[in-house]
Amino acid sequence: MSKQKAIATPSQTKHYLGKYGFSFKKSLGQNFIIDVNVLKNIIQAAAVTDATGVIEIGPGMGALTEQLAQHAKRVVAFEIDQRLAPVLADTLSDYDNVSIIYQDILKADVQEIVQREFNREQPIKIVANLPYYVTTPIIMKLLMAKLPIESITVMIQKEVADRMAATPNNKSYGSLSIAVQYYTEARVALNVPKTVFMPQPNVDSAVLHLDFRQTPPVQVQDEEFFFELVQACFAQRRKTLRNNLFNFFKTSLSKMEIEQKLTEALIDGTRRAESLTIAEFAQLAHTFQPSYLP
């Protein structure tokens, strides 16, 4: 069923660009992969099998979609650019296990689409070459949507991948690391040179793999407050925890009350946020939990 020539080569990409008079839209962050080996490495990192249902975001000309279709049971791809409809109809014409949904993933009812497009027992994974300008909003939407999916494997900007997978006492570690790792176990699967894209981006790329946790690694009373507190602690990275907390609670707690709560949480206020583990942030949230919250 597979084509003799893969889409993900410079010559095939140029062929389809010319055939359909397609021009890249910088505003949509369109960078198409032109290296089949990279695509195969992504699919291997995602552990896609012939039983897997896959959600793809931003298929472009179908380079990754084609490879996924050859390995997965079913592929459902979200594409925001309607101009690609005739291109994808052509490049994916050999595959009857692919559906393209022309919607913005950020606006789509993904839960409803998952229920409609996949079998309930089917293992579902997200695999994508994400547009870099909306990487974080897309990943956070997928993490918080409570979808019946096992993992997310995405090509993203290397700097963002490093931040999402970072551990304490690392300059990349921040509130984004905590948010992602609250829901998943994160690792950078491979680094990817900019030469495998057309057009070439200005930044290096990496494949991030996120395995969903059955339960979060810490228990918090109020997730919204927990994430707000974490962000506040990282508000000014060079400042101590004490100073960032003074600023965050300035209208509700005195400096003395904040000192007392830091003592109660057994956390030294002279530390910086990047030195705290997710468990220590949970302890801070528990101690500072406003009394008006349940």
Beta-bridge partner residues of 152: 126, 210
Helix axis angle, 278-288 to 175-183, nearest 10°? 100
Q: Read off the DSSP letter of residue 198.
A: E
Q: What is the pLDDT of residue 27?
A: 65
Length of the chain: 294
129 is in an annotated binding site: yes
**Cβ atoms of residues 106 and 133 within 8 Å:** no
**Residue labelled with tokens 């600023």:** 247
Residue boundaries of the structural domains of the chain: 10-212, 223-288
Quick one: tokens of 228? Answer: 């707000």
Count of CB atoms within 10 A of residue 66's CB?
24
Q: What is the pLDDT of residue 254?
A: 94
Q: Which CATH architecture has domain 223-288?
A: Orthogonal Bundle (1.10)
CATH of 10-212, one of 3.40.50.150, 1.10.468.10, 3.40.50.300, 3.40.50.720: 3.40.50.150
Quick one: tokens of 122? Answer: 């089917």
Each residue's pLDDT tens digit, 14-39: 999 899 888 877 767 678 899 999 99
50 is in an annotated binding site: no
pTM of structure: 0.93
264 is in an annotated binding site: no
Q: List, for the chain, all residue ranges whose pLDDT scores fall below the cut of 50.
A: 1-3, 294
Q: Read off the DSSP letter of residue 196.
A: G
33 is in an annotated binding site: yes
